[in-house]
Structure 1
């Protein structure tokens, strides 16, 4: 790589982090007086919205979350009186920086997310900008229709954002980009003008012009622009499937129907604010068959794309072996990876039809043709279940490759250039050679059927030389794309990442045309300024930068995967927003309940990252706004497994709270629930008396008031501990196993302990038990009482020394306790070899029976079983073993996709958390329990059982209790 560079280092955002917009306080005051939605100019809101999924950081002026169109109109009117810029934002997952700016941010996703009825005849539907794509697709599928563009973020990206970026996705091959699927747009301009635009006949165009006024002037100027540049547009615009860069001036050509709406698609909020959109829907093949094809490498795979396209698939995606390597190193989707054929370059080719036999026939004919290819690729035809698993591999691309153990972080910045599929192999070889010259590496994956390839590079954004090398690399990469007749962006848009490179692709005359197009709509340059037109440089305003020097505080946890740095841990969040999905999985329950960015994993990670900068958020660990955001975190740990980059917010929360309350008094609630093991041990001496005392009306009300417990919550009832009971004689023969007596099952639900003891004994094991009170301290983590938690863990390691030395399996019944041993233990005590032993010897009951009792046969059950998995169970181990055991009973077993139950230890008892807790419980779990009155309900978590019993008439059981029923003697 040349050591000379024509570029100079530009300031990062850290230099300008405290720049204030003149009149911001008065602007906020006037907005609050007029807006029915939410107006936030506080430090936390600005911190949470300072970046998107890109490399860039701009501190916004403030945030408005409009309730309706009137709120948007009033916001624009007031901002105009202050000459304040405005940025429209949807899901905030943009990768090029177009969703962060020093502007008033309009977040449409929380309230303006409605849609009209699907018109199955016209094949259209009208939507508000904040609606999530999957909600539209679900409604359309009822009529066997769909919105064709479906990016990997389909579970959380909004239609407004898709229109702003001209999003594409897997099935753009079937139905085109977003631009091809927009019928009309309802617009609001910065000057207050409102209009609806779409395809325009010449007669309609002349009528609009003759009407005069601002709207007439817009159409007159658009006609002039078309007539002036039509020949150049026809000549210079790349004719490839994924030309996303620049403005869509080609849509104004007569042969394209002078479609003003489509001309605005991809304008990234720089021209108009979208209030609504009428979408074009296309037929959705109801039967699909996927074929995986394996080639020697990704370049050979790309060479074959044009030939494979002749079979007319509805989707054709590619990914290389580096993506698979990253997943393996992170121990993610390991079982699914075995579904891929042999090779290091893979194409996923999907066929769709009106019947399954027809789709299968297409796939089989395609597979047969592969035998005639000189490359002789391997292949595999998948059933529907396997296909879903393979698609998950492909959709994991960005997150899977961003953070990989023992490797530098990988960044966007040159992640979605596109060429004609016929040029794809040549382009990839050229960019690979350029990567090697700069000592960069990147996986390659994406929409190979349309020539769009995603990449993430190990750019160095923390040194002057690294930033300048990045700038030189993308400049030369742009030359490669242009030389191949391609587009700088094939999906993610230009934003700050690529807009400065547009002259290479279009030349000065078309750039002038783009500038004129922007001026027609936004002459004052107040809508998302410095994007697309007169942009900031791509190596400016970096979130990191050569001056990036975050605070590095001393911590309790080791953060070994982040080089011991809490600041580095917060940087794991790359903004893809998987925590903002609301329809499946567990992450992020507080966002599912509130729809609030500040209560998402991403929002919290951004706050903590900003805290480490000591710029926007003051007070270091004592910052109350950060504490308030974390306060609604349920510590479900789902983000550690579901987040593509394994952000571990439960750990970050515990770390923060430990310092926040250091040398400060805590709420009494923390001591009451954080040290519940102590109170439970004392209560077990005379549980009947304690329960009667706690539930006496006056005492009960006083306890709830003092401890801030919601009035509708029932206090759990203590019991005589299982460890204090007289045990049956141990089986004289058999292998040893140690049954962990956790606080919740030992002192509240001893029947679970009895059942587990019986199951293990019947399975032929000698069951050992603690001879003293031990507790993993799980509730301590919820309140950041980490010094006490360490004491608990050290006591456990000392007491269990014989079992650890002997390698005795430790069977744990409460999933949240198992997660302490599997996760927090080694993070708090990384240098104690006993901690690793306990981690490795800890097993949940189902896991133990599958791995250590191959001859065990569960009782036969002729009854439906509904299973709710504990959050920590999902986070630290799959439910596979439990489901294997339960299905062996012969029962009809259903595992709910119920996410977090909402109780989450003490969380659901707190008065101010009750509504969130109930919202989460009612999302899936409680309705499913109520509608299956005759079924056995299995829920291994104590908190989950409390949520069920306090809201339904059901009596949930632990796996151990079900296996102990009618057991074979």
Structure 2
């Protein structure tokens, strides 16, 4: 059953004229796929009418625009199909109305959760129902019965967190646990690490409320013989379904028992075994794993299991992964609650990407590792189980290297390595991209070692490369393989390999899928595993529930071939574009950069890490890194997203990107959306006016230079009650924001009068960024004092220079490149001499460490400057390690700047704070929400505040008043100062404070205020004298405003200000 979708993509209103739905056994033909369409009778559907009717019937959101359709073209698989439209329901009634309306138009439906499926289950030519935004709550938690009633869009970790309050948990926990939805887990029959303890999702569902395509709404679960006969006797559609299911069971019962592999991880095929008498005719269990092909889940009642409160983790290092897997049966005798493994290929991939170095250092020696976890009621209980295993292993010949971890923090570090495997192995520097396709096979655990050996031989015979990892305690293997999915020969080879791999796993008595499901990736080959008769039973099972074959058609049964609907394929020809950034890590190709995203969906986390702050607020797919990358990919495809760089839907998706670079650090494939956004905006605004904020804040470097001529006058005009409002309106500022105050004396003016010291000492260039030069010079002054105390001669460039960071936010890339070229030319001799550069503003350091190399990949001085640039903490740790830092006995709360966390990491910052003697807490606060100019903008104010209120601002308000608040980013400090009663300090200021306090704690509340008072008493006395020229200041600012407006209207401002 397949569908062909035709849309008029050139229409200005982004609407679609019609859809052609082919009859049974046809294949969908979409752009960039290797599909052979079967000519069949077709039916034309008026999509505009469908959309109109859905809007009338649904209270939630109905989206048929090209951008929304582009967002849902794929999942985490190799496949791509353009949906007809998207519905985001508010509640069950919306889902019922959506299905009813689609049924009236004979249109397919696909219910979807987090969109992280790896086999193509979550993409189809259908109306997609996204449950994740609104239908994500817990309806009831019954701790006594160990049950929870939940909506299908709930994120697994949210359910687990609620259950943990009662010392319970939902057992299955895939690596995507912090962003996958329970509805998606039900669709795939997901498992995870602790399925060893609790079983698959099908083992943990008590009851489902479901909706069929023909409109039947009912609850299903286990069914006694008496209840079964009663339901059948009542007749109706429900009775018909149960009668046919009973007949299906009776017909195929013996064959099911014979052909279904008796292994822990059989996920391929429908769960017809759940209908057997010995399994209680469990209709809910039979529907779990049906991948939205039989019914839509409206609600689930889950079973909860006891969560061992204390864990001990035993890490075993073997000579290779094969010998480690040979030992799995004896390890299982000790009844661990988790048993995972991976080979040295995974560790090698991480090292090449510079990921998890501290975590990897915790592992024992070896080239293959097993993680064996024990749970207990207390530390002694869990430790005793672990010691029993360790004692037994150490008494054997060829014992593995062993490390035991009882500290939860260390355990989390170990698990972070395992959980990162999926994304890490996808894209490794210097190697071919690796793809899903044969990433989820499973065999009996006692045969896993031999299976891996034979699979490695098969991979070698095809000249494929892959790392091995997975849930080895249950015989489930995950891997990504460097298939060529672009050329005809490569795709033929890919298909041949999947065929041979399916034969191999069947010979071992295994399953094609151990938890990811069949979808499109494996369904074609399930006949090898089950035989023709059971495949007929699968067709019948599908028909019982969905006689029209309109629920997620072409998946699991009567499926598309493995080489159809490929996201790339032989016809993949992205639009050729010329870019400012050179994308050296992507072969110089922006198209290749958009392919980095493999759909893992880590950017859909609602808490933890930095990526993606806007999604954490809006819960919109378009506000994820994945969604934005997908739209850029579709933009280069030209269908359904049209008009290339001028597309407003792409612009809209990028609008709430805070350019925090959280994705550069958090995303396992290092998608750099901040760079993609800057590139897109540079083309989008070509020949167009930018918004007011683009000129008021994007060009802050030049405005600051002008303001420094009369800072007192400028400050009066921008802060006087009436004039301030005018200034904010003209600049596009949010009226709730305070415009930052310009300092009466710039840092460079101060330094020029003061002069350099420590002549003859090792030289260091202190970078005078715009913010710490014109607005907060005290930060740079403090840094001078600290660096000189460490014995260095501080040098400050005499020429006015800027890295151009604010320009990137508005796509001023020509101007940004011009400023960087100035820096390379001006500082050329110092760069070549190897003099280090200390940057105080993390975003400026990130330009030199990241964007500079991307814009000038072949410039040797650009490479040198990138390598010679340090944050203050990095410099003190790496270049002044012998300097004895002063001590400061104080408590502190630390917020890391997004660019700091993404590019430089916080390790050195924390090391310096520890050497200072501070008792500090580094907040897992993500982005502060200010993000440079973002939070000052009128249209972004609400998102900015919500992002800050998620973690950072409440933590600052909660901190004791004698606690120091540390934030190195200027915008972070502004957000804190403008929304709380506290002022945050830069690390340089904290170090200066320590130097002056001489190991004494600052007594009293608000230590930053005392520090600032002592530091700036003279400046405070000078302020009244500067306010005597109010009218002159207003006149000057008015003249500047008129001049600016004229320049804006003539589109010459950016050019003139760069000269």
Q: TM-score range by the shorter chain?
A: over 0.9
Q: Is the 8 A contact 1:13 1:543 kept in 2?
A: no
User: Matches of 2:414 and 2:214 in 1, distance apart?
Assistant: 49
2:586 to 562, 577, 587: 562
Secondary structure class of the residue paired with 1:573? coil
**Change in CA separation of 1:563 and 1:741 when aligned onto 2, cut-off 3 Å:** same
Tell me how far 1:15 sits from its aligned partner. 5.9
2:469 equivalent in structure 1: 445
Contact 2:767–2:837 at 8 Å: present in 1 too?
Answer: yes
Matched, 1:548 2:572: yes
Alignment of 1:79-158 (within 5 A): 79-158=102-181
Match of 1:956 among 968, 984, 993: 984
Aligned partner of 1:6 in structure 2 is: none
Q: For this pair of structures, how many residues does the alignment match?
A: 961
Q: Indicate how the Cα distance of structure 1 residues 12 and 33 shifts in structure 2: closer, same or farther if over 3 A, else same.
A: closer
Cα drift, residue 518 of structure 1: 0.9
Q: Which residue of 2 aligns with 1:905?
A: 932
Is the aligned partner of 1:767 residue 2:790?
no
User: Cα offset for 1:247?
Assistant: 0.6
Residues 377-403 of structure 1, C-alpha deviations (whole Å, 9 max, x = no match):
211112322211111111111111100
Q: Paired residue for 2:354, among 319, 325, 331?
A: 331
Alpha-carbon offset, residue 116 of structure 1: 2.5
Query: What are the ranges of 5 or more consecutive residues in structure 2 without an aligned counterpart?
Result: 1-26, 999-1059
Residues 402, 409 of structure 1: 8 Å contact kept: yes
Tell me the distance in 1 between the aligned counterparts of 2:396 and 2:187. Answer: 41
1:362-761 aligned within 5 A: 362-382=385-405, 383-719=407-743, 720-725=745-750, 726-727=753-754, 730-761=757-788
How far apart are 1:966 and its partner, in Å? 4.4
Number of the residue aligned with 2:85? 62
In 2: Cα distance, 1:52 partner to 1:827 partner: 29
2:901 to 874, 883, 888: 874
Q: Distance in 2 between matches of 1:707 and 1:81?
A: 51
Contact 2:756/2:793 (8 A) holds in 1: no
Paired residues of 1:637 and 1:872 also in contact (CA < 8 A): yes
* Partner Cα distance (2:874, 2:705) in 1: 28
Distance 1:600 1:909 in 2: 22
Q: Distance in 1 between matches of 2:937 and 2:288?
A: 46
Instruction: Give the aligned partner of residue 3 of structure 1.
Output: none
Structure 1 residue aligned with 2:950: 923
- 1:244 aligned to 267, 280, 299, which one? 267
Which residue of the partner structure matches residue 889 of structure 2?
862
TM-score, normalization by structure 2: 0.89
Asked if structure 2 preserves the Cα contact closer than 8 Å seen for 1:612 and 1:620, the reply is: yes
* Cα distance change of structure 1 residues 14 and 804 upon mapping to structure 2, 3 Å threshold: same
Query: How many angstroms apart in 1 are the aligned matches of 2:642 and 2:140?
Result: 47
Distance of 1:706 and 1:304 partners within structure 2:
71
Task: Give the match for residue 14 of structure 1.
Answer: 32
Instruction: Work out whether 1:163 is the aligned partner of 2:186.
Output: yes
Is residue 319 of structure 1 aligned with residue 342 of structure 2?
Answer: yes
Q: d(CA) in 1 for partners of 2:955 and 2:850?
A: 31
What is the deviation of 1:225?
A: 1.2
Query: Contact conserved, 2:33 with 2:564, CA < 8 A, in 1?
Result: no
- Residue in 2 that maps onto 1:293: 316
- Answer yes or no: is the 8 Å Cα contact 1:778–1:817 preserved in 2: yes
CA contact (8 A) 2:34 2:570 kept: no
3-state SS of 1:902 partner: coil
State the distance in 2 between where 1:66 and 1:105 align.
10
Question: In 1, are the aligned partners of 2:33 and 2:570 still within 8 Å (CA)?
Answer: no
Deviation at 1:890, TM superposition (A): 2.2
Q: Check conservation: 2:425, 2:480, Cα contact below 8 A.
A: yes
In 1, Cα distance between equivalents of 2:132 and 2:83? 17
* 1:806-839 Cα shifts (integer Å, max 9, x gaps): 2111111000000000000111111211111111
SS of the residue corresponding to residue 496 of structure 1 reads coil
What residue number does 1:935 align with?
963
Aligned-pair CA distance for 1:761: 1.1
1:733, distance to aligned residue in structure 2 (A):
4.2
Which of 73, 78, 93 is 2:96 aligned to? 73
Structure 2 distance, partners of 1:493, 1:21, is: 32
Which residue of the partner structure matches residue 849 of structure 2?
Answer: 822
Which of 350, 357, 368 does residue 373 from structure 2 map onto? 350
> What secondary structure does 1:22 align onto?
strand
Q: Contact conserved, 2:34 with 2:564, CA < 8 A, in 1?
A: no
Offset, 1:729: 5.1
**Shift of residue 13 of structure 1?**
4.0
1:463-495 residue CA offsets vs partner (Å, 9 max, x unmatched): 111111111111111111111111110010000
Stretch moving more, 220-229 or 191-200 = 220-229
Q: CA deviation at 1:308?
A: 1.0
> Structure 2 vs 1, CA of residues 20 and 678 (structure 1 numbering), >3 Å: closer, same or farther?
farther
Offset at residue 202 of structure 1 (A): 0.7
**Structure 1 residues without counterparts, runs of 5 or longer:** 1-8
What whole-Å deviation, never above 9, does each CA across 1:259-306 have from its counterpart, x for those lacking one? Answer: 110110000000000000000000111110111111111111111111
Query: Is contact 1:115-1:126 (8 Å) kept?
Result: yes
Q: CA deviation at 1:730?
A: 0.8
Q: What secondary structure sits across from 2:435 in the alignment?
A: coil
1:834-865 CA-to-partner distances (Å, cap 9, x unmatched) read 11111111111111111122232333223210
Deviation at 1:672, TM superposition (A): 1.4
Query: For 1:361, what is the secondary structure of its paired residue?
Result: helix
1:379-433 deviation per Cα after TM superposition (whole angstroms, max 9, x unaligned): 1112322211111111111111100011110000011010001111121111111
Alpha-carbon distance between aligned partners in 2 of 1:480 and 1:674, rounded to the nearest angstrom: 59
Q: CA deviation at 1:887?
A: 1.9
Secondary structure (helix, strand or coil) at the match of 1:347 reads: strand
Q: 1:177: Cα distance to partner?
A: 0.5
Give the match's secondary structure for 1:706: helix
- Where 2:540 maps in the other structure, the secondary structure is helix
**Secondary structure, aligned partner of 1:950:** helix
Residue in 1 aligned with 2:880? 853
Aligned to 1:277: 300
1:584 is paired with a residue whose SS is coil
Give the one of 793, 806, 809 matched to 2:820: 793
What are the superposed Cα offsets for residues 27-64 of structure 1, whole Å, 9 maximum, x if unpaired? 00111112111100010111110000000000000000
Distance 1:748 1:614, change over 3 A: same
Matched residues in 2 for 1:838 and 1:176: separation? 54
Matches of 2:984 and 2:176, distance apart in 1: 36
Deviations 1:59-113 (A, max 9, x none): 0000000011111111011111000100010000000000000000000000000
Could you tell me whether the CA contact under 8 Å between 2:877 and 2:912 is conserved in 1?
Answer: yes
Measured against aligned partners, the alpha-carbon deviations of 1:201-257 in whole angstroms (never above 9, x if no partner) come to 111111111111111111111111111111111111111000000111111111111
Shift of 1:442: 0.8
Q: Is the 8 A contact 1:733 1:764 kept in 2?
A: no
2:206 and 2:804 mapped to 1: Cα distance?
58
Structure 1 distance, partners of 2:326, 2:817, is 57
| SS, match of residue 45 in structure 2 | coil
Q: Any conservation in 2 of the 1:12–1:542 contact (CA below 8 Å)? A: no
